Structure 1
Amino acid sequence: MSVVSGRAVRDLHTDPFGERRSVHAPLSKQLLGGRFHFQSDSAALLALVEAAYGGLPPHRLPGQIPEFEIELKLLPGRSLRPVHEPPPVRMQAGAGMLCGVINAMNYVAISPAQRQALVVVSQDMLRFPYHLRYELIEFAVFILAARSQGLIPLHGACVGRQGRGVLLLGHSGAGKSTLALHSLLQGLDFLSEDAVLVQPENLLATGVANYLHMKDDALGLVDEDACRWIRYAPVIRRRSGVEKFEADLRNGPGRLAAAPLKLVGAVLLSSQLADHPAQLLRAVPADQIAARLSADQPYAAGQPGWLHFKQKLVDLGVHELRRGACPQDSVDALRQLLA
């Protein structure tokens, strides 16, 4: 039988839900069209928030800026066995709540209607800062931003110039991050490499340009300075087992998109090599666009606003982009769409 101290017993009686914990000075960040307020009883958790969102361009969408609240709680003690990564997140939903659950001491609960989220983690989860940030904190931010503002959540990248943007779509491993990197190095504005949120009414795209994830074998055609910047970055390990450098875009070369980009098109990346630089771009027939977009974005295809968004892209036109002999060719093809 375990022994509980008198102080712990009194705390359980007077504050069984842990509502009276002292909190550190809150952080406020404007991103993804909203203003997010983070509060926590843990300086370490707020430091992860700052690492994720500090120094980013404050993106704003048309209309009133929504306010969001995210509370982060740190629980003492161990809830994870000494492994190389925490258990996978399990998704659950009900009663207007969306949840991502690792275990009883590590989870996120999100209420889009109330524009609030609670992130709870155990002390030993701090040993996995990438998973904690990406799968719990950033998960809450993106879900709140998308669901509360009616944005279309896309798994893709986005680059642009002079306020105009083009979506880079395709399956994992298609080369979205690599093309986004070369676009950045060759003067285009960088919006996102992994997740893009789009306002379906006006096709304004926003994202979080904090980190770039690159495999070592994708750096062969990157110039020496950029290669050094990426290879000095920490290495993270995806759930798939793939290891990638996580380079901080805020400390690297190039320019981050200062505001949401107006989409002027989308490209589906192909692994097929083009015979000639002039043949990289091929217009997808209009009667195939809807099916190909839905197949490429199965989660987004089930969200409100998808049909309107999809029709907008059909009207704009979608292209397939084959691989060029060198990255410059692919970036030049994107410039054609952005002209």
Structure 2
Amino acid sequence: MAQTLDLMTGDLSPDPFLERTSAGRSMDVHVLGAHVRFTSDSAALLNVAAMAYAGLPPHVLPMTPPSLHVELRLAPARDVAAGQEPPLVSMQSGAGFLCGVMDASNYAVLFPEQHRALVVASPDMLENPYYLRYELIEFSVFTLATRALGLAPLHGACVGREGRGALVMGSSGAGKSTLALHSLLRGMEFLSEDAVFVHPQSGMATGVANYLHVQADALRFVEDAGLRRWIEQSPMIRRRSGVEKHEVDLRDGHGRLAQTPLALACVVFVSRQPADDPDELIHPIPEHQIIERLVAEQPYAASQPGWDALVQAVKRGGAYELRRGRDPAASVDALLRLLG
């Protein structure tokens, strides 16, 4: 993908596959219970990795932490219109590797058995690094760590109290991010907003507490002027869906980041449906319906090893539906009561 060769003419570079490219620089971080070393020939690419993983609490899971290696490589410059959204990532696998490809200059190749990945990016991606970070670098690290540690990858948020966590699930727009924001502002331990990884055998949940994404209309519920200003001054990102949100870096001292993995205490399915009684927002989900709800919310995780153990962990803690109350504060109150 890095260059085109004409094998018939013999016009070959001495190093056509860039096998002797020197990484030159490195950065070590602790993510999801794994040690990750990033190497690169580009300080700018390492800085994008730091935007994702620098300054996070070093979570430790009940196992020997594996070492993962992610090489970041800068591709030659290309001619692309300013502000153009990169193509959607296309997934593929074969011969022991996994890959996610945007185009010929932006892709990730993963070798899970070797705990290694290569991420290639074009210079223009550095001007708006959200997609590079989120869809190539984080994709690589999360996939390697999930396979190496045997974690169940879940789409959802997780907040906690005194070491016990509530895994928050729900469809897009149901209010997961708003609930996570107000839980953070109320002093709850924040684990993750978008992706949670559970060690099924121990029931411990880990995640990356780097950013929280907040829509502008959610600010009307933030009463503290200083906190509202903190969010408003954060950069705006644009999701693939077209929704724009403030990307709030949580590592600057606001809120409590979970310093250790949280013990999975319960699963909460956030619903758009208003509560019939504003004082009764939480409703238990019958045990015979839990598996159906989980599979509907987490189809990828349901196909992975460890799913049965995860389901049993959820059943032990219980699953609940959280309907909408008068305001987000009422939802946080309900969550706090659930966590005791």
TM bin, normalised by shorter chain, reads over 0.9
Closer, same or farther: CA 162–314 of 1 in aligned 2, 3 Å: same
Residue 77 (structure 2) aligns with:
77
Unmatched runs of 5 consecutive residues or more in structure 2: 1-10
> What SS is found at the alignment partner of 1:167?
strand
Equivalent-residue separation in structure 1 for 2:216 and 2:168 (angstroms)? 21
- Distance apart, 1:277 and its partner CA: 4.0
Residue 321 (structure 1) aligns with:
322
Alignment of 1:288-307 (within 5 A): 288-307=289-308
> What SS is found at the alignment partner of 1:312?
helix
Residue 287 (structure 1) aligns with:
288
Equivalent-residue separation in structure 2 for 1:144 and 1:103 (angstroms)? 22
Alignment of 1:174-213 (within 5 A): 174-213=174-213
Any conservation in 1 of the 2:284–2:318 contact (CA below 8 Å)? yes
Unmatched runs of 5 consecutive residues or more in structure 1: 1-10
Closer, same or farther: CA 233–16 of 1 in aligned 2, 3 Å: same
Equivalent-residue separation in structure 2 for 1:81 and 1:106 (angstroms)? 16
Any conservation in 2 of the 1:80–1:86 contact (CA below 8 Å)? no
Any conservation in 1 of the 2:56–2:208 contact (CA below 8 Å)? yes
Equivalent-residue separation in structure 2 for 1:165 and 1:135 (angstroms)? 26
Equivalent-residue separation in structure 2 for 1:77 and 1:165 (angstroms)? 45
Any conservation in 2 of the 1:77–1:123 contact (CA below 8 Å)? yes
Say if 2:61 is the partner of 1:61: yes
- Distance apart, 1:328 and its partner CA: 2.0
Equivalent-residue separation in structure 2 for 1:327 and 1:88 (angstroms)? 33
- Distance apart, 1:308 and its partner CA: 1.8
How many residues are aligned here? 332
Alignment of 1:139-288 (within 5 A): 139-223=139-223, 224-288=225-289
Any conservation in 2 of the 1:269–1:320 contact (CA below 8 Å)? yes
Equivalent-residue separation in structure 2 for 1:203 and 1:226 (angstroms)? 33
Any conservation in 1 of the 2:52–2:133 contact (CA below 8 Å)? yes
Aligned-residue Cα RMSD (Å) equals: 1.9
1:175-198 C-alpha deviation (Å, 9 max, x unpaired): 111101100100100000000000
Closer, same or farther: CA 83–328 of 1 in aligned 2, 3 Å: closer
- Distance apart, 1:14 and its partner CA: 2.6
The code of the aligned residue for 1:315 comes to R
Any conservation in 1 of the 2:25–2:42 contact (CA below 8 Å)? no
> What SS is found at the alignment partner of 2:120?
strand
Equivalent-residue separation in structure 2 for 1:326 and 1:240 (angstroms)? 26
- Distance apart, 1:98 and its partner CA: 1.1
Residue 338 (structure 1) aligns with:
339
> What SS is found at the alignment partner of 2:326?
coil
Any conservation in 1 of the 2:23–2:71 contact (CA below 8 Å)? no
Any conservation in 2 of the 1:80–1:125 contact (CA below 8 Å)? no
> What SS is found at the alignment partner of 1:220?
helix
Between 67-76 and 326-335, report the one with greater CA deviation. 326-335
Equivalent-residue separation in structure 1 for 2:214 and 2:85 (angstroms)? 20
Between 274-283 and 139-148, report the one with greater CA deviation. 274-283
Equivalent-residue separation in structure 1 for 2:131 and 2:253 (angstroms)? 23
Alignment of 1:83-98 (within 5 A): 83-98=83-98
- Distance apart, 1:12 and its partner CA: 5.2
Any conservation in 2 of the 1:79–1:122 contact (CA below 8 Å)? no
Equivalent-residue separation in structure 2 for 1:174 and 1:298 (angstroms)? 18
> What SS is found at the alignment partner of 2:59?
coil
Residue 4 (structure 2) aligns with:
none
- Distance apart, 1:80 and its partner CA: 4.0
1:151-197 C-alpha deviation (Å, 9 max, x unpaired): 00000000002211010001111111110110010010000000000
The code of the aligned residue for 1:183 comes to S
Indicate the percent of aligned positions where both proteins have the same amino acid: 57
Equivalent-residue separation in structure 2 for 1:191 and 1:115 (angstroms)? 24
- Distance apart, 1:329 and its partner CA: 1.5
The code of the aligned residue for 1:249 comes to L
Between 248-257 and 68-77, report the one with greater CA deviation. 248-257
1:35-63 C-alpha deviation (Å, 9 max, x unpaired): 00000010100011111111110111111
- Distance apart, 1:133 and its partner CA: 0.5
Between 256-265 and 124-133, report the one with greater CA deviation. 124-133
- Distance apart, 1:275 and its partner CA: 3.4
The code of the aligned residue for 1:269 comes to V
Alignment of 1:83-162 (within 5 A): 83-162=83-162
- Distance apart, 1:27 and its partner CA: 0.3
